[in-house]
Structure 1
Amino acid sequence: MKDSNFLKENNARHMWHPMAHPADSLANPPKIVVGGDGVSIRDIDGKEVLDAVGGLWNVNLGFSCEPIKQAIAAQLDALPYYSTFRGTSNDQVIELSWMLREFFEPDGLTRAFFTSGGSDSVETALRLARQYHKVRGESGRTKYLSLKKGYHGTHFGGASVNGNANFRTQYEPLLPGCFHIPAPYTYRNPFNETDPEKLAQLCATALEDEIAFQGAGTIAAFIMEPVLGAGGVIPPHASFMPMVREICDRNGILLIADEVITAFGRTGDWSGSRHWGVKPDMMSTAKAITNGYFPFGAVMLNDKIADVFEQDTSGRGAIGHGYTYSGHPVGAAAAIACLKETQRLDVAANAGARGAELFAGLNGLAEKHDLIGDVRGGHGLMCALELVSDRAAKTPIDKATIGKIYEATYEAGVMVRVSGPNIIMSPPLILTVEDVQKIVDALDAGFSAA
C-alpha cells in the first residue's frame, strides 16, 4: 500500500465517486477504508468503527468470512475465468444453479440467469419480461409499472423504472413506457393517509387505475422492492404486495421482485417476498449473494416463464442477452460458499432478532431528539431515520446539520449512511446485542453533538 500521505493527497483527485458530486468529494474527501474484520472497518488513520452500512447492504457475513475467501482463492487456482455463453459452462455455476433452485423453491423460483450485479439483474429481468410476452404472441406488452421512491439500479432500464428524481432528471430522456404509482410511504404520501393499511389499499387502487388507463394488454411487468431500500427503508403494509400479486395476475402482468437488497436474510426471512407470503414471477438478486466479495448476481425465474422459453419452437425464445462475466466461476464459487455459510449461521433469524432491538433503540432516540421525524424499520436489519428541522411541518433537515450528525456518529465509533434527509442502517447480519447498543449510543452522541 502507498504511504498515507500519498493516498490522502490523491483522495478523490483522479476518480469520481458514485452517487456524489465531484466538487463535494474534492472539498470533503471521502473516508479512506483500509481494513475490515467482523462487523468493523478501519480507516487510514487507524480508527476502527462498527460498519452499520454493511458495505452497501451486502456484507451480511462481515468482513472476515474465511469460507468465502478460501473458495475464491481455490477457484482462482483451478479456473480463474471462462465464458458461459452458448456451448460452454463450468462446474461451479452448475452447482450454484442447483443450490439457488433449492434455496428459492419456496418462492416458486426454479431457474437462474447469472449477471455481474444488481443493476445487471434488474436490466435482465426487464428484458426477459418483454421477451416472455413476445414469445407468447403478445408483442404489445412493452410497458413497465413501478413505485415512486423505488430504486432499481443505474442502467437505463433500471433508472427508467426508478421512482426517485435524483437518479433520473440529469439523464432524461429515459426508456419510454415506464409509469409510476404512489408508494405506500406512510410518513409522506399524496393522500395524506397515516393508516398503513388504508394507504396500501389506496396505492393498490392507483395501480389498478394506471393499468386501466394504459391498457392491461400494453404492460409487460410491475417491478417493486418488497421493502423499499435506498428510497429510505419504506416497508409497505403486509397487505400491499399480496394485493399487487393479485392485480398483476388478473391483468396478465408479470411481477418482478427486486431483491438485490432484501434477499438472503436481510428482512428476517430468506427473501423479502416470502416475508409477505408472495411468489413473484422473477426476482433480481446480487449484493449478499457473495457477501460483497465478488461482483455477481442472479435473476431467478418461475416455471411459468421457464416453460414458455423452454418449450418455444419458433426461435423467439433464444436469449439474445448476457454479460461477459455471467456465471463467472470465481463468483459462483464465492456464492456457493456464501450460501452455505448464510444458512449455517441462520442469519435471517439473527437479523429478525437484532433488527427488532435496533428498531426499538431508534424509537427511543426519537423520543429524545426532535430532529428525528420518522423511524422506519421493524423488518430485519434495515432501518432508517428521516430527519427534519420542524416535526410539525415535516421540513427536511439541511445538509450541513445531517453532515454534522454523520461525522459525530463516526467519531463515536459507528459508520452510517446519509441519503437525502435519511440516515440509513443496513449492518451485517451477524450483529450482536452489544453491537446494536453501540449503534444506538453512537447515534445518540451524533444527535447530541448537532
Structure 2
Amino acid sequence: MDSHTPSTDLHDLDRRYFLHPFTALAEHERNGPLVMVKGEGVWLEDTSGRRYIDSMAGLWCVNVGYGRREIADTLHAQAMRLPYYHSFSSMATDTPILLAEKLIKLSPVPMSKVFFGNSGSDANDTQVKLVWYYNNARGLPQKKKIIARNRGYHGVTMVATGLTGLPGMHAGFDLPLPFIRHTTAPHRLWQAEPGQSDAAFVARLAADLESLILAEGPDTVAAMIMEPVMGAGGVIVPPPGYYAAMQAVLDKYDVLLIADEVICGFGRLGTQFGSEKMGMRPDLMTVAKGITSAYVPLSACIISEKIWQGLLLGGEKYGAFAHGYTYSAHPLAAAVALTNLQIIEDEGLVAQAGARGELMHRLLRDAFADHPAVGEIRGVGLMGAVEFVALRDPATPFDPSLKVAARIARAALEEGLITRALPQGDSISFSPPFVISEDEVVEMVARARRAVDKVFTQLHAEGHWKG
C-alpha cells in the first residue's frame, strides 16, 4: 500500500470496491470503514493517528500481539528460501512436517495425524468429510448427521455455517444443510430453570442430547462438534460435569466428538488447549487462529489413531484420499506457526494468559457486578463477556431493536477501546492478546465501564431503561 494515500481516499475506495464480511452493508455504504494502519502489542492505530486497546486480539486470534519482529523475520526468510510448494501426491516441504510433529506432541489427548487447511471454517468442513469417509469405510453409510449446539460458532463455509447455531447466520443463505441438528446451549442465564443446580442442569442437557439422538436414530448420527468455551455465541462456559455427561451419551451411541479449538487452542484459557481445561476427550480437533496468531492464515485438523485407521481402510475401498487445498500445508504459514508457538513457549504466555485472565475477571466483576443492567459476567482464562439485561430478576432481555451491545461497542470506540458486540443477545466480549500488561488490563476495563455508563445514560434519557 502507498503509505501516502490520504485516509479520505481509502475510505472512498473502500465504499466503492470492498464487500465487507459481517457488516451492515447499507450503513457501511453511508458511513464507511474505520481503517487501521498500525499495530504494536495490544494497541492499534487508525488513519487519523488515534490509538485503541484491542481487547479482542483482532477476532480472538492475535495472541502474541501486533508487531512481532520474530514473525516478520520468519516470513522474510521462508519466502526467500521456499515461499510455496504443494503437498499433493506425497510431495512435502519441511516446515509443515515439523509443525505436524509439534501439534501431535502438544495435543491434550493421544492423536495421530494432522491435516492442514487455511481457516477454521474450512477445517470444520474437512472434519465433517473425514467423519463421513470414516463411517463409509467401516460400512455405516447412514451414519452421517452432525450435532452442534445452539449459539455455537464453527465458521462460515457451507457446512460450518450450518453447524453454527446462530440463526442470523442462516438467514438468506438456505442453511443449515439437512444433515445438521442442534441441541441446547449450556447457558445458565437463559436455559437453566430458576434455582436449578448445576448437576440438575447438566443432567437435563445430557438428556436433551440423548433424546435428540434417539429421535434421529443413533445409526444416523455420526458426530457432535463443540467449542470448549463457546466464543461468538456468548463466551459461554459450561457448568462442572457437563463434558463428562455429554461424552457418556456420545460413547453410548458411537458418536464421535469434534473439539472446535479455533479460539481456545494454544493458551487462551490458560492451558494449551481448551479440551484440557474443560476435560474433553475429542476424536478430532480443529485448530486455527492462535496457531499463527493470525499473522498468516492456517488451520489444522488433528485426528486420533481411530480416525486414521478408518482413513486407511477407506483408501483400500476408494483409492487415493481425494481431499485437499492448493494451500494445504503451506510452508510459509507453517514456518510462522512454528515461530509463533516458540514465542508462546519461550515467554510463558500460556501461564500469562491465565494470570492476566484472573485479573481481568476480577476487574470485570469489580466494575460491573453492581450495575443494575448486568445479567451475567462470565468467562475463563483470557476470555470474558458481560451480558446486559432489561431486568435482572427475572432475567429479561432488552428489545433487540435497541441494539444495546452494539451501542456499547460504538461508545467503546469513542473511548479508544475495541470490544465486540456478540451476535445473539446483548453481550460484549473481551479476548485481548496474551501480552497485555496488568496496567493495560486495568485501562481496558475502565474504558469499557465508561462506554457502558455513557450508553445507559442515553437509554435512560430515551425512556428505554429506568435504572
Q: Structure 1 length as normaliser, TM-score?
A: 0.95
2:261 match: 259
**Contact 1:268–1:349 (8 Å) recurs in 2:** yes
The residue type equivalent to 1:364 in the other structure is: D
**Contact 1:33–1:44 (8 Å) recurs in 2:** yes
Match of 1:102 among 93, 99, 105: 105
The residue type equivalent to 2:78 in the other structure is: Q
How big is the shift at 1:412? 2.4
**Contact 1:115–1:325 (8 Å) recurs in 2:** yes
RMSD of Structure 2 on Structure 1 (CA): 1.8
2:458 match: none
> In structure 1, what is the Cα distance between the partners aligned to 2:109 and 2:251?
16
Question: SS state of the match for residue 34, structure 2?
Answer: coil
1:24-423 aligned at under 5 Å gives the runs 24-104=27-107, 106-189=108-191, 191=193, 194-310=196-312, 314-316=316-318, 318-377=320-379, 379-392=380-393, 393-396=395-398, 398-399=401-402, 401-420=404-423, 421-423=426-428
Tell me if 1:436 matches 2:441. yes
The residue type equivalent to 1:101 in the other structure is: I
Gaps of 5+ in 2: 456-467
Identity across matched positions, percent:
33
Q: Cα distance 1:400–1:282, how it changes in 2: closer, same or farther (>3 A)?
A: closer
Instruction: Write the deviation string for residues 369-411 of structure 1: whole angstroms up to 9, x where unpaired.
Output: 323222111x111111112233335222654544442233223
Gaps of 5+ in 1: none
The residue type equivalent to 1:95 in the other structure is: L
The residue type equivalent to 2:332 in the other structure is: V
How big is the shift at 1:173? 4.3
2:459 match: none
> In structure 1, what is the Cα distance between the partners aligned to 2:431 and 2:448?
14
The residue type equivalent to 2:208 in the other structure is: A
Q: Cα distance 1:317–1:255, how it changes in 2: closer, same or farther (>3 A)?
A: farther
Deviates more, 1:345-354 or 1:312-321: 312-321
Q: Structure 2 length as normaliser, TM-score?
A: 0.92
The residue type equivalent to 2:79 in the other structure is: L
The residue type equivalent to 1:215 in the other structure is: G
Shift >6 Å, 4+ stretches = none
How big is the shift at 1:121? 0.8
Q: Cα distance 1:193–1:159, how it changes in 2: closer, same or farther (>3 A)?
A: farther
> In structure 2, what is the Cα distance between the partners aligned to 1:193 and 1:301?
40
Question: SS state of the match for residue 390, structure 1?
Answer: coil
How big is the shift at 1:431? 1.7
**Contact 2:134–2:314 (8 Å) recurs in 1:** no
Q: Cα distance 1:338–1:24, how it changes in 2: closer, same or farther (>3 A)?
A: same
Instruction: Write the deviation string for residues 54-93 of structure 1: whole angstroms up to 9, x where unpaired.
Output: 0111100000222222111111101111111113111111
> In structure 2, what is the Cα distance between the partners aligned to 1:17 and 1:399?
23
Match of 2:432 among 427, 431, 434: 427
How many residues are matched?
A: 448
**Contact 2:120–2:155 (8 Å) recurs in 1:** yes
